[in-house]
């Protein structure tokens, strides 16, 4: 063993029976198991519960996306007016027969997709699920700093999601996920579901703040002895930077949405121009949160990629400090770019400044991408699902990042804004970036979380399907966006027909890919081989404990004796992770000295 130096480890307090068992161990009857999970303060169980909730909502949001794509298969109403209208007539659109009702249904469906995917899936996806599970283990702690707060934030998340779903059951909201005023405050005045959805997002913000706060304190105060800031795995750096943004940006959306609810309920007029208010003020408030939150979405994805690439190419990460500081750099710059959502609503000077600051984001981002590629160079790359997803991420995220530049440029943005080009751009970043990293991370850590190996070949096939489906969905959107197809429209001219059809076929392929993934993962739980403690040969702390980890994570408090990516000093050349645990360190040192 190298990661845990047991000779120097302090003896653990006397074990209390089940603490040495796997955290997944049964507690007896079904009811006591459910009660145990519902009241648990174990960060691992909370992480798994988050993972489950996020995946359920990902499925709902994904179905909405499929319905949107289905609707756009033809320029006339094919779903909203007929199929779904007759199925859920009483729920979605009581009068769903005419084209107008179909359009209305379309607006509600893409709002549903956007709101669920942004607020309930991508924002909490990586930090709250994988972060919750692995942040304490990777720094050698027994739990997060405030375990009960952690459970509370899960319940708040679930309550917020229930409110959101409630607003949909009551008939849906058609404002888009950004709730721009005065449309969001002055339309549908007879219904309160707009206010319910806004309130749901407000509640979800609480959950986000509490998770972020918990992580910041955990990283500051609970690192294992011997783990300095620059001995932390890069996953921690990414999640830590994310947590800072969550703490500092979310309160602003809190007050914004509170004011929006007040505006909706009492017409206080702060955002309503007819009462002297300023609708662009709403956009400033909204994007002051929602642009930093774009980095809440992508930073944890980047954090995962740093792990995947280093572990699966078994190589020291290139430029550790550069990648770590790039995370903080992105977090810092993220607060200075919100104005690029309002290029047309501000003065020229402000637009110039925000344009320049937006370009600034490209620098730390490119630093990361180049460092990952340099890490791959001459590494012993294992082609498996996590590595495949890391490569998919590099490909898609680079496209997503580079297409951001013409949008940050004032002159080209005038042409491209509010077109499908923007839609394709942020899907390449959010989905091609965050979701791909998330799925890669799930496969990377699946053996650790559940103690079961998934079937590698079908998972890789699914990854390839997802990759092809994704590009087939969104490349046509770049093309038609650049030619002028506006976003949010339910209809289009015939020139765009072929692009929309290709895009819809792509989305079906994506669906098939993700369903195959789900099948492979569920299958592994039922019939997967038992996972060894360290299937990939990782050097971070989570790989030094059991799979799945025991209730207290480690049998002894770990003492960190080497860096997270010291493959060139800890691991002998041509080492196979099957030979885990690592050989005697003195011998390895001699081999390396001989080189």
Contacts with other proteins by CB under 8 A lie at 13, 136, 141-147, 189-190, 209, 213-214, 216-217, 220-222, 247-248, 250-252, 254-256, 258-259, 262-263, 265-270, 275-278, 281, 285, 552
Shortest separation between residue 395's beta carbon and other proteins, angstroms? 37
Minimum distance from residue 231 beta carbon to other proteins (Å): 18
Query: Given the structure tokens 């993700």, which residue do they identify?
Result: 514
- What's the min distance (Å) between Cβ of 556 and other proteins? 14
Torsion of CA 133, 136, 139, 141, to 10 degrees: -140
- Whichever of 350 and 402 has its CB closer to other proteins, that residue is 350
Whether the CA torsion 393, 398, 399, 405 is positive or negative: it is: positive
Closer to other proteins by Cβ: residue 183 or 335 = 335
| Nearer residue to other proteins within complex by CB, 36 or 278 | 278
The DSSP bridge partners found for residue 22 are 550
The least distance separating other proteins from the CB of residue 224, rounded to whole angstroms, comes to 10
Residue tagged 């890391």 (tokens):
390
3-state SS class at 550 = strand
Residue placing its CB nearer to other proteins in the complex, 14 or 28: 14
- Within the chain, what is the greatest distance between any pair of CA atoms? 80
Contact in structure between 341 and 287 (CB atoms under 8 Å): yes
Q: Looking at beta carbons only, is 270 or 460 nearer to other proteins?
A: 270
Q: Report in angstroms how near the CB of residue 265 gets to other proteins at its nearest.
A: 6
The answer to whether 108 and 92 are in contact (CB under 8 A) is: yes
Can you tell me the distance from the alpha carbon of 282 to that of 271, in angstroms, rounded to the nearest whole number? Answer: 6
Min dist CB 503 to other proteins, Å, is 38
- Work out how close the CB of 240 gets to other proteins at its nearest, in angstroms, rounded to a whole number: 13
The answer to whether the beta carbons of residues 566 and 233 sit under 8 Å apart is no
Residue recorded with tokens 């990939």? 536
Residue 553 forms beta bridges with which residues?
A: 550
Smallest separation (angstroms) from other proteins to the CB of 142: 4
Distance CA(160)–CA(404), nearest Å, equals 31
Least separation, in Å, of the C-beta of 218 and other proteins?
8
CA 232 to chain centre: 21
Nearer to other proteins, 145 or 151 (CB): 145
**Cα–Cα distance between 253 and 285 in angstroms, integer?**
7
Which residue, 127 or 447, is less far from other proteins as judged by CB?
A: 127
Nearest-approach distance from CB 562 to other proteins, in angstroms: 22
| Residue 204 or 392 with smaller CB distance to other proteins | 204
Q: How far apart are CA 316 and CA 234, in angstroms?
A: 12
Report d(CA 96, CA 104) in Å as an integer: 9
Q: How many CB atoms lie within 10 A of CB 273?
A: 12
Neighbour tally for 332: CB within 10 Å: 17
CB nearer to other proteins: pick between 247 and 571: 247
Query: Helices marked H in 7-81 — which ranges?
Result: 30-38, 43-71
Identify the three-state secondary structure at position 165.
helix
Tokens of 580: 């885990």
Output 252 or 309, the one with its CB closest to other proteins.
252
Instruction: State which residue, 219 or 449, has the beta carbon closest to other proteins.
Output: 219
Query: Taking the complex as a whole, how short is the minimal distance between the CB of residue 136 and other proteins, in angstroms?
Result: 8
Residue whose CB is less far from other proteins, 248 or 332: 248
What burial class does residue 134 get, using C-beta atoms within 10 Å of its C-beta: 0-12 exposed, 13-18 middle, 19+ buried? buried
Query: Do the beta carbons of residue 246 and residue 127 sit within 8 Å?
Result: yes
Distance CA 317, CA 231 (A): 12
Least gap, CB of 10 to other proteins (angstroms): 9
Q: Give the C-alpha distances (Å, rounded to integers) separating 98 from 68, 85, 94.
A: 18, 10, 11
């Amino acid at each position: 063993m190298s990661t845990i130096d047991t000779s120097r480890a302090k003896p653990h307090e006397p074990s209390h029976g089940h603490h040495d068992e796997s955290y997944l161990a049964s507690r007896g009857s079904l009811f006591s198991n459910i009660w145990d999970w519902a009241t648990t303060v174990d960060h691992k169980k909370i992480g798994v519960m988050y993972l489950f909730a996020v995946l359920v909502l990902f499925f709902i949001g994904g179905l909405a996306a499929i319905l949107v794509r289905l609707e756009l298969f033809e320029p006339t109403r094919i779903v909203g007016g007929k199929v779904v209208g007759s199925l859920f007539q009483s729920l979605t659109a009581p009068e769903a027969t005419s084209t107008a009702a179909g359009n209305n249904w379309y607006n509600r469906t893409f709002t549903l997709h956007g709101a669920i995917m942004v607020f309930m899936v991508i924002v909490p996806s990586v930090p709250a699920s994988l972060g919750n599970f692995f942040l304490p283990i990777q720094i050698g702690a027994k739990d997060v700093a405030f375990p009960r707060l952690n459970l509370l934030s899960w319940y708040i998340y679930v309550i917020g999601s229930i409110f959101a779903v409630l607003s949909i059951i009551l008939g849906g909201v058609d404002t888009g996920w950004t709730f721009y005023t005065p449309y969001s405050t002055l339309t549908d005045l007879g219904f309160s579901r707009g206010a319910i959805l806004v309130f749901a997002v407000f509640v979800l913000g609480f959950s986000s703040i509490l998770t972020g706060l918990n992580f910041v304190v955990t990283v500051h105060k609970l690192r294992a002895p011997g783990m300095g800031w620059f001995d932390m795995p890069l996953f921690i750096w990414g999640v830590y930077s994310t947590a800072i943004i969550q703490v500092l940006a979310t309160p602003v959306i809190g007050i914004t949405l509170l004011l929006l609810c007040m505006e909706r309920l009492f017409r206080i007029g702060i955002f309503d121009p007819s009462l002297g208010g300023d609708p662009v003020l709403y956009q400033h408030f909204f994007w002051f949160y929602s642009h930093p939150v774009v980095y809440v979405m992508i930073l944890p994805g980047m954090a995962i990629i740093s792990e995947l690439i280093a572990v699966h190419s078994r190589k020291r990460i290139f430029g550790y400090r550069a990648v770590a500081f790039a995370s903080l750099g992105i977090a810092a710059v993220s607060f200075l770019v919100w104005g690029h959502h309002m290029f047309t609503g501000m003065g020229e000077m402000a637009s110039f400044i925000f344009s320049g600051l937006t370009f600034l984001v490209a620098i730390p981002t490119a630093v990361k991408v180049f460092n990952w590629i340099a890490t791959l160079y001459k590494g012993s790359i294992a082609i498996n699902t996590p590595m495949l997803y890391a490569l998919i991420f590099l490909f898609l995220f680079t496209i997503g990042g580079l297409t951001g530049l013409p949008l940050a440029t004032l002159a080209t943005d005038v042409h491209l804004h509010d077109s499908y080009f923007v839609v394709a751009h942020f899907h390449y970043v959010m989905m091609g970036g965050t979701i791909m990293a998330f799925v890669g991370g799930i496969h990377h850590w699946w053996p650790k979380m559940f103690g079961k190996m998934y079937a590698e070949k079908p998972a890789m096939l699914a990854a390839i399907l997802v990759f092809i489906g994704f590009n087939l969905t969104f490349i046509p959107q770049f093309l038609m966006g650049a030619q002028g197809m506006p976003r949010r429209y339910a209809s289009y001219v015939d020139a765009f027909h072929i692009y929309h059809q290709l895009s819809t076929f792509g989305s079906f392929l994506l669906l098939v890919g993700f369903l195959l993934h789900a099948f492979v993962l569920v299958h592994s739980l039922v019939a997967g081989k038992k996972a060894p403690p360290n299937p990939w040969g990782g050097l971070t702390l989570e790989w030094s404990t059991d799979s799945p980890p025991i209730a207290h994570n480690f049998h002894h408090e770990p003492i960190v004796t080497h860096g997270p990516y010291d493959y060139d000093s800890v691991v002998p050349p041509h080492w196979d992770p099957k030979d885990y645990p690592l050989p005697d360190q003195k011998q390895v040192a001699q081999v390396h000295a001989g080189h």
